[in-house]
Structure 1
């Protein structure tokens, strides 16, 4: 320890240490760091991210050698990519590590470069495929080619990284996230969820229950949601069943189940108790679900707190996914009862709210209504309701729901519900395909291939082509020559449809060239402007335009276009409205929004890159196809202002979704039509 005299302090400027002291203070700190054992330096490196590890490698040879440790880079890799640490990812991850020479640093560099490649590919997809709604086959073929060069788990992890940026920069990279979401969903559905559905559909009938079907449907809709996985649902089921077991012990201490230390591990299997004991179990379930947790809602307006709030949000609230709350409550009731030894199953009764319990000898049945606080009735008591006779509800409505019908009910309920506004065209097509898969127990066959070609043939022909090839390889020995020839013809037809999609994309470039050379069209709005409807006052963002009304005569007559002051001979705009619909609006019915705000619409990423606070910035290809209008001269501007001021309410809206489309009337676009189940270009 060195001492500084008062004289030295007096000669020293305020805040300036002596040179001698400066050396004695700095050198020991530097020497102490480098003199630490290698094991301790490695432990310090565990707290660094990958970028910092690369930086310290340039400090000195000692730190460079330390950061080369495989343990250090393995820790840094999982710190940066924590999703890959899951046990289900380890087989593919180990394969990727082997391809990287068993070096974690090399795997990290590979994964970082993969992320940059995926971001560039997603940005390019927006410019190439915006004229096609949904997920076109060329985009999926690009992703498959990328997956063939990298592990699927690494590609999906990078796609999730892109989606996670919405939390930090929600107004940036809109198009990139749009395509990342669709691609991730299709990869996860084909590679993970479809095999799970296949296993589910091929189980014995007594092992098929609505809780798992509900969970699988929820996963199918938004597979990127990781907040409610299977283990989390199982935890809530077990927790509520434990509450019911505690209630059972308090109300009926002599019941056989009261001696259980814990509930069953799964809800499958036959009923374990006599009829009298079953009723005691159901009383305990009703007391917990409807009295303690109050899942049907508060009658006095008191806010829910504690676990009651968690359970209500999970099984009945608005955040409970895209499944009908009746189905969720039925799933909860049947699962909890199964965990307590009572086997219940849903029946075909309208509303998805009736569960059936059958005596062990099959001589009698009891029905429980989950939406009426667990009310128990016999078949005759239910049929005494005259309203049911009006609806032609017969005895077949009390029979168990077959597996394919159970899934179909859930899928149809989702597609008919209000939450479909949040689903893209690709999601709706995928739900249609899932309904087709469920009808055949997820088994490949001629009926399945025919139905899937009706759903996917227009937008994903190579998907049908690959399924047909898979079916040929699996059943080549059992097919007749005529059947094989028909399948080969089907493959050739799918290739032709794929070429048609590519031709439409090439035609898009020709349309851009024609518009570039054509006379400019006078318009008041640019693509990306946020506008307001003069009559209905909804806000929307302009996504495209046509020089005049480009719709059928029937649509023009239905919407009263010719009764507008400027009629059909004015620009019409494709707009994405704030109510998540897509509309085709006349120029005279729109005005710039005085206070623009972001528009929430599922198709924003199809046209736009980002939101700059005032308007949406379109993709480069969208700007080429729909160039900004030329600036009007003063005279035209005054006339336009006078016309706009004198328009007011014309009596007819003159806008709406064009018939046969999903609301997008852009000329030259590939239009995806949905009519009576047909999907065609």
Structure 2
């Protein structure tokens, strides 16, 4: 082709140039570079429909933007998405330095996140997308154990009983290879923390909008989905058509109270199965009403042309009862007023579902599991019952126990004290006010621990307990046992060969617990596997298939452990 016949971008019509820029392979940054070349391309790159199409390339944003979003300047919206993505990454990358010696996010961090949330109408959605990108970058390290079927369990070298996972149902791990690596664990750990806070704020606004509607317009199905979303900040809740049955085998499981899990497993408890039953009948033109009957949730159907009702037990495959038969199911209620069989409103249904979840939380043996579930359940109950003094006070006490949300405790105590005097609330208020004054956003200094020859192991090593056969990873150690005498006596430390006069190690265990193990009870695992624990990322940045690599803060706390760990692994033949 002659040079004079060559076709350049300037020769293409605007419509074709716009079509080229709309291609999936053309990034937002490519469009910005093109726009800098000449005024014509800048005008084409300013087309709103082009930027609207680019937003669709973020499916987790586009799918959740309401159809009535009212967005007219899509180019500016893309700028907001990119700016928040940058700000979120900057925030998360610095949290380990700021919060390493804190158990939870601090008030200054919560405030910083809240400022970002309020920056634009859809900032929470854009922030969740940015946080999800951090969390899903690379292989997902198991945060908590998941239940395995029989075939998968046989392939596990040392199966351990699964620990409940309230916030996220992880995919089952595939066969482990020596090259399997999990990276960027610390940033993922804090991204999950921030996402939980952002998600709860979104859910609170959804619940406020729901509760502002007249009771007659409060849809039971919508509220049930909102309740399921509240307890699953890292899971996209969706509905599928399935068959259903009562879950008698695992009645007291959180999943039985979450509608998406019920729809997925096709098993549930009376209240969730009743909601599904009512939803199906509603679509068939049959009107059913919920009945908040003691001990067993039911629905009722009014017999056409009469004032009589049939009662239906969705848990028992839709079994029908007369009013007399329902009362006879609970002999102590046989002479009670039949008002117990009256219909209830959506709020009563949600409150009962939350109380069920609170009961599940109280059944957990591990206190961290208990509070991890009981706290959000109480938060949602306080949202539904804002005038209930006891619920509001319970929530403040939970915050105080967990050492979080001191600003909320202060505001809540001040509000409750206006209604009723309370010495406990006054003491809690005074204490939290002092904490807020002294709470600094500056990181606390990390004091290095010097090693001695009697310390045989190092942080980051995957270990095996000789007696209880559990897998764990070391994240700290003491030269001697630092626990009080009653703990030493209760744990039988005096029966050990070296008793308390030996190094003790802080370990994260595969069952999700934290333990304090004596050196004589530990040995280096010959088959190191990733430890399924939610706090792995707080201390470690990577699992390299053999051991865990400490993040900067743990490295600063135990500066000499890296050399010792490498030498031990070399002796064991791993290197």
* Structure-2-length-normalised TM-score: 0.73
Tell me which residue corresponds to 1:184.
Answer: 195
For residues 14-35 of structure 1, give each alpha carbon's deviation from its aligned partner in whole angstroms, at most 9, with x where no partner exists. Answer: xxxxxxxxx53x764x425431
How many Å separate the matches in 2 of 1:345 and 1:329?
Answer: 11
Q: CA deviation at 1:219?
A: 0.6
Q: Is the 8 A contact 1:93 1:153 kept in 2?
A: no
1:406 aligns with 2:352: yes
List aligned pairs for 1:76-115, cutoff 5 A: 77-85=54-62, 86-88=64-66, 104=75, 108-109=78-79, 111-115=81-85
Counterpart among 211, 215, 218 of residue 225 in structure 2: 215
Q: Is the 8 A contact 1:540 1:578 kept in 2?
A: yes
Q: CA deviation at 1:143?
A: 1.3
Tell me which residue corresponds to 1:225.
Answer: 235
How many Å separate the matches in 1 of 2:324 and 2:306?
Answer: 17
List aligned pairs for 1:55-66, cutoff 5 A: 55-57=33-35, 61=38, 64-65=41-42
For residues 442-472 of structure 1, give each alpha carbon's deviation from its aligned partner in whole angstroms, at most 9, with x where no partner exists. Answer: 35x7555433321223311112345678x69
Tell me which residue corresponds to 2:501.
Answer: 569
List aligned pairs for 1:659-678, cutoff 5 A: none
How many Å separate the matches in 1 of 2:397 and 2:286?
Answer: 44
For residues 222-250 of structure 1, give each alpha carbon's deviation from its aligned partner in whole angstroms, at most 9, with x where no partner exists. Answer: 2443351xxxx4xx5xxx7xxxxxxxxxx
Tell me which residue corresponds to 2:458.
Answer: 526
How many Å separate the matches in 2 of 1:572 and 1:92?
Answer: 60
List aligned pairs for 1:46-195, cutoff 5 A: 46-47=22-23, 48-57=26-35, 61=38, 64-65=41-42, 68-71=45-48, 74-75=51-52, 77-85=54-62, 86-88=64-66, 104=75, 108-109=78-79, 111-147=81-117, 150-151=119-120, 153-154=122-123, 156-170=125-139, 171-190=182-201, 192-195=202-205
In structure 2, the CA distance between the partners of 1:215 and 1:419, relative to structure 1 (3 Å rule), is farther
How many Å separate the matches in 1 of 2:335 and 2:213?
Answer: 28
How many Å separate the matches in 2 of 1:420 and 1:336?
Answer: 38
For residues 170-220 of structure 1, give each alpha carbon's deviation from its aligned partner in whole angstroms, at most 9, with x where no partner exists. Answer: 333322232223323323323x32244345557666666754443222110
For residues 392-451 of structure 1, give each alpha carbon's deviation from its aligned partner in whole angstroms, at most 9, with x where no partner exists. Answer: 99858756663564243343255357899997966642223223333x2x35x7555433
How many Å separate the matches in 1 of 2:498 and 2:489?
Answer: 15
For residues 320-355 of structure 1, give each alpha carbon's deviation from its aligned partner in whole angstroms, at most 9, with x where no partner exists. Answer: 7xx955443221112223442322214234354x33
Q: CA deviation at 1:554?
A: 2.4
Q: CA deviation at 1:609?
A: 2.2
In structure 2, the CA distance between the partners of 1:205 and 1:109, relative to structure 1 (3 Å rule), is closer
Unaligned runs of 5+ in 2: 140-181, 248-258
How many Å separate the matches in 1 of 2:136 and 2:564?
Answer: 41
How many Å separate the matches in 1 of 2:273 and 2:130?
Answer: 34
1:345 aligns with 2:290: yes
Counterpart among 378, 388, 398 of residue 432 in structure 1: 378
How many Å separate the matches in 2 of 1:494 and 1:566?
Answer: 43
Q: CA deviation at 1:169?
A: 0.7
Tell me which residue corresponds to 1:37.
Answer: 13
**Secondary structure class of the residue paired with 1:334:** helix
* Structure-1-length-normalised TM-score: 0.63
Tell me which residue corresponds to 1:672.
Answer: none
Tell me which residue corresponds to 2:436.
Answer: 498
Counterpart among 305, 310, 321 of residue 377 in structure 1: 321
Q: CA deviation at 1:135?
A: 3.4
How many Å separate the matches in 2 of 1:569 and 1:110?
Answer: 58
How many Å separate the matches in 2 of 1:524 and 1:214?
Answer: 53
**Secondary structure class of the residue paired with 2:281:** helix
**Secondary structure class of the residue paired with 2:94:** helix
Instruction: Decide which moves more: 447-456 or 600-609.
Output: 447-456
- What's the RMSD between the two structures over aligned residues? 4.5
Q: Is the 8 A contact 2:413 2:429 kept in 1?
A: yes
In structure 2, the CA distance between the partners of 1:415 and 1:46, relative to structure 1 (3 Å rule), is same
Give the greater-gyration-radius structure (CA).
1
How many Å separate the matches in 1 of 2:222 and 2:563?
Answer: 59
Q: CA deviation at 1:132?
A: 2.7
Tell me which residue corresponds to 2:244.
Answer: 295
Q: Is the 8 A contact 1:453 1:461 kept in 2?
A: no
List aligned pairs for 1:286-365, cutoff 5 A: 294-296=243-245, 315=262, 317-318=264-265, 324-339=268-283, 340-350=285-295, 352=297, 354-357=298-301, 364-365=308-309
Q: Is the 8 A contact 2:506 2:516 kept in 1?
A: yes
How many Å separate the matches in 2 of 1:63 and 1:207?
Answer: 52
Q: Is the 8 A contact 1:49 1:79 kept in 2?
A: no
In structure 2, the CA distance between the partners of 1:416 and 1:400, relative to structure 1 (3 Å rule), is farther
Q: Is the 8 A contact 1:577 1:601 kept in 2?
A: yes
How many Å separate the matches in 1 of 2:209 and 2:380?
Answer: 14
For residues 473-525 of structure 1, give each alpha carbon's deviation from its aligned partner in whole angstroms, at most 9, with x where no partner exists. Answer: xx9xxx79x98xx999986653323345549x86x52xx33x35x56474333
Q: CA deviation at 1:553?
A: 2.4
In structure 2, the CA distance between the partners of 1:210 and 1:46, relative to structure 1 (3 Å rule), is closer
**Secondary structure class of the residue paired with 1:88:** coil
Q: CA deviation at 1:576?
A: 2.0
How many Å separate the matches in 1 of 2:85 and 2:512?
Answer: 31
Counterpart among 310, 326, 338 of residue 366 in structure 1: 310
* Structure with greater helix percent: 1
